[in-house]
């Protein structure tokens, strides 16, 4: 039984001009990827498109003596299968891409042995369970199954992504022999210019990039730029961006970050596993800041939640057509600022807008969902009453609510949230973990401005709770408490500085409290008034 590697490559001008043509170390990336896959003697074919935009790529491959095949631009499944027309059905086929230069022949040999020993029909090295960085990816299958896919599927998605039909038939079998490496949240691919800089740094001063072992490349990757500092992905953190659009927070002493700082914060969050950014039309120029920061390949690495404008100028007696115009203006302005054609999640900034104007605003948003302008709808709520109303609406897939270590209002409704999450898609995000920074303040005067009538008691209790769970800082206690809640899917945190974000990453990576700690905190928690929990009532 023989095996062959097919390496997909295209000159992707939309993401990184000529990225497979750029010199990486001493070789163009596509040549380096091909030679590393072949360095134990395996034959490699580079399959590219027959479009004129790939003429230069083919010239480059021919110059370096790399065998190549040209086929359909959009039907990649057909392109790969046609490239192997002269091979028998029992040929084992590795599918690789030119963006990923880490896999080598030895790694492919290990996958092949595992594949044969376990009598599999499909195997991949992707995903968290593999332990391998994103980009150390390969798929292995029989050529006969690729040919069967061609015969039995006409789905465009299947044709573009090559293996969905096979994965549905044989399952997502993962090669987990490297699970102990625990680097699945690292990134070793070249999808954008920042990726290119990172991989270039890995190969700096490497005299023989074709044969440097995979393990050594992964060790070098740990010191490369745009790599995580966390031990695992901190996907439960949601980066709140109100601070990136305006001065915000009673305890904010640094003000609104500039664009360069905002971009660094967003990239640092994404690199460490944050998958969601939270913004709103009402957050100053936050959407525009995000749109600029996510250019050149970063947008595909996260989802964006934004909120409908406040609609303050929409007349109370507006017709459905007028309301729809206001809604559309807000949504399409968000698309423009965020530099996207589709909003991942659109939330109502005010829950009462769901039924205002005889449901006209909500109906307008539903129409935008039907037209694929919005993927999912959500509501930002303020009270338990609003929570119950939204739980009863199956169109509300995302709910964001204020929650912190002092907030007792939600305790009796947590069972209802858990029950609803079992029935349908429901994502719960919380905000105000630090109560706009108030929870970290030991100023009696500042607590007094919030309406607290027992500032000293609250300050002392927070200090004792911090010591109870062995935390060094109050912000670690407050964030860790929220992250440890099993009914919460994401905790929105806002930052103004990289030091604050580093601190939050550390907490998300280390501070998960036990049920015993929970009970100790809740049972001793001082009761505060609703006004303290609602910053809009503070005397600031």
- pLDDT exceeds cutoff 80 at 169: yes
* Amino acid 29: pLDDT: 87
Tens digits of per-residue pLDDT, 82-123? 999 999 999 999 999 988 999 999 999 999 999 999 999 999
- pLDDT exceeds cutoff 80 at 254: no
At residue 509, the 3 state secondary structure works out as helix
The model's confidence at residue 437, banded by pLDDT at 50, 70 and 90, is confident
| Residues of the chain above pLDDT 70, percent | 95
The model's confidence at residue 181, banded by pLDDT at 50, 70 and 90, is very high
Q: Are 195 and 100 in contact (CB under 8 A)?
A: no
23-24 and 303-307 strand pairing:
unpaired
- pLDDT exceeds cutoff 90 at 42: yes
Tens digits of per-residue pLDDT, 369-424? 999 999 999 999 999 999 999 999 999 999 999 999 999 999 999 999 999 999 99
Distance, in Å, from the CA atom of 537 to the CA atom of 540, rounded to the nearest integer, reads 9
Residue 490 vs residues 31, 417, 435, 496, 515: alpha-carbon distances, Å? 42, 14, 16, 19, 19
Instruction: Copy the structure tokens of residue 485.
Output: 């809640």
Distance, in Å, from the CA atom of 76 to the CA atom of 354, rounded to the nearest integer, reads 44
What is the DSSP secondary-structure string of 469-486? TT-SSHHHHHHHHHHT-T
- pLDDT exceeds cutoff 90 at 21: no
Q: What is the mean pLDDT of residues 56-79?
A: 94
Distance, in Å, from the CA atom of 275 to the CA atom of 269, rounded to the nearest integer, reads 8
Per-residue burial over 425-451, b if 16 or more Cβ lie within 10 Å, else e, is ebbbbbbbbbbbbbbebeeeebbeebb
- pLDDT exceeds cutoff 80 at 255: no
The model's confidence at residue 25, banded by pLDDT at 50, 70 and 90, is low
122-124 and 139-142 strand pairing:
antiparallel
- pLDDT exceeds cutoff 60 at 252: no
* Amino acid 422: pLDDT: 97
Residue 477 vs residues 208, 438, 466, 515: alpha-carbon distances, Å? 49, 13, 6, 15
* Amino acid 436: pLDDT: 86
- pLDDT exceeds cutoff 80 at 196: yes
Sorted by sequence, the CB contacts under 8 Å of residue 111 that are 6+ apart come out as 94, 123, 125, 138, 140, 175
Provide the sign of the torsion angle of the four alpha carbons 484, 489, 495, 497, taken in this order.
Answer: positive
- pLDDT exceeds cutoff 90 at 253: no
Phi, psi of 402 (to 5 degrees): -75, 135
Q: What is the mean pLDDT of residues 187-198?
A: 91
Q: Are 82 and 69 in contact (CB under 8 A)?
A: yes
Q: What is the mean pLDDT of residues 311-322?
A: 96
Tens digits of per-residue pLDDT, 202-242? 999 998 999 999 999 999 999 999 999 999 999 999 999 99
* Amino acid 23: pLDDT: 56
Provide the sign of the torsion angle of the four alpha carbons 469, 472, 474, 479, taken in this order.
Answer: negative
Q: What is the mean pLDDT of residues 333-345?
A: 97
Residue 207 vs residues 25, 26, 202, 389, 525: alpha-carbon distances, Å? 9, 8, 12, 64, 61
* Amino acid 17: pLDDT: 41
- pLDDT exceeds cutoff 60 at 15: no
Q: Which helix (H) or strand (E) holds 283?
A: none
Rounded to 10 degrees, the C-alpha dihedral 142/76/16/344 comes to -100
* Amino acid 247: pLDDT: 58
pLDDT: is 196 or 146 the higher one? 146
At residue 347, the 3 state secondary structure works out as strand
| Residues of the chain above pLDDT 90, percent | 83
Provide the sign of the torsion angle of the four alpha carbons 314, 316, 322, 324, taken in this order.
Answer: positive
Instruction: Copy the structure tokens of residue 435.
Output: 């109560």
- pLDDT exceeds cutoff 70 at 248: no
Q: What is the mean pLDDT of residues 279-293?
A: 96
Sorted by sequence, the CB contacts under 8 Å of residue 536 that are 6+ apart come out as none
Inter-axis angle of helices 455-468 and 474-483, nearest 10:
70
Q: Which helix (H) or strand (E) holds 121?
A: none
């Amino acid at each position: 039984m023989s095996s062959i590697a097919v390496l997909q490559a295209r000159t992707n001008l939309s993401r990184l001009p000529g990225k497979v043509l750029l010199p990486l170390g001493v070789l163009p990336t596509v040549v380096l990827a091909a030679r590393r896959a072949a360095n134990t003697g395996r034959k490699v074919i580079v399959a590219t498109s027959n479009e004129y935009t790939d003429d230069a790529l083919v010239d480059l491959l021919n110059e370096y003596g790399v065998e190549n095949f040209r086929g359909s631009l959009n039907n990649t499944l057909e392109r790969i299968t046609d490239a192997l027309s002269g091979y028998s059905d029992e040929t084992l086929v590795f599918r690789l891409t030119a963006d990923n230069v880490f896999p080598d022949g030895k790694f492919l040999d290990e996958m092949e042995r595992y594949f044969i020993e376990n009598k599999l029909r499909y195997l991949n090295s992707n995903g968290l369970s593999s332990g391998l960085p994103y980009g150390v990816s390969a798929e292995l299958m029989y050529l006969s199954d690729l040919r069967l896919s061609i015969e039995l599927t006409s789905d465009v998605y299947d044709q573009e992504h090559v293996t969905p039909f096979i994965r549905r038939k044989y399952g997502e079998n993962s090669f987990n022999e490297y699970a102990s490496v625990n680097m699945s949240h690292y990134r070793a691919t070249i999808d954008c210019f920042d990726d290119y800089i990172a991989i270039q740094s890995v190969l700096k001063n490497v005299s023989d990039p074709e044969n440097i072992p995979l393990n050594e490349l992964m060790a070098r990757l740990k010191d490369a730029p745009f790599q995580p500092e966390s031990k695992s992905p901190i996907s439960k953190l949601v980066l709140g961006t109100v601070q990136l659009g305006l001065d915000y927070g009673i305890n904010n002493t640094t003000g609104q970050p500039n664009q360069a700082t905002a971009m660094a914060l967003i990239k640092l969050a994404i690199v460490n596993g944050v998958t969601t950014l939270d913004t709103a039309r009402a957050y100053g120029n936050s959407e525009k800041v995000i749109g600029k920061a996510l250019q050149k390949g970063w947008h595909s690495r996260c989802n964006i939640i934004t909120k409908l404008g406040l609609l303050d100028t929409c007349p109370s007696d507006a017709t459905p057509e007028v309301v729809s115009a206001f809604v559309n203006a807000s949504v399409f302005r968000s698309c423009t600022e965020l530099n996207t054609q589709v909003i991942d999640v659109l939330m109502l900034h005010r829950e009462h807008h769901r039924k205002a104007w005889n449901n006209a605003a909500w109906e307008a948003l539903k129409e935008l969902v039907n037209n694929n302008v919005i993927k999912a709808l959500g509501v930002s709520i303020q009270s338990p009453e609003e929570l119950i109303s939204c739980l009863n609406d199956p169109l509300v897939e995302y709910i964001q609510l204020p929650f912190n270590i002092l907030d007792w209002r939600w305790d009796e409704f947590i069972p209802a949230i858990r029950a609803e999450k079992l029935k349908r898609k429901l994502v719960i995000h919380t905000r105000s973990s630090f109560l706009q920074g108030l929870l970290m303040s030991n100023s009696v005067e500042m607590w007094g401005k919030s309406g607290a009538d027992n500032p000293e008691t609250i300050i002392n209790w927070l200090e004792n709770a911090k010591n109870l769970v062995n935390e060094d800082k109050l912000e670690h206690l407050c964030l860790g408490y929220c992250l440890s809640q099993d009914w919460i899917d994401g905790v929105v945190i806002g930052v103004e500085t990289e030091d604050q974000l580093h601190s939050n990453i550390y907490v998300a990576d280390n501070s998960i409290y036990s049920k015993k700690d929970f009970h100790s905190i809740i049972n001793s928690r001082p009761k505060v008034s609703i006004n303290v929990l609602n910053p809009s009532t503070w005397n600031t």
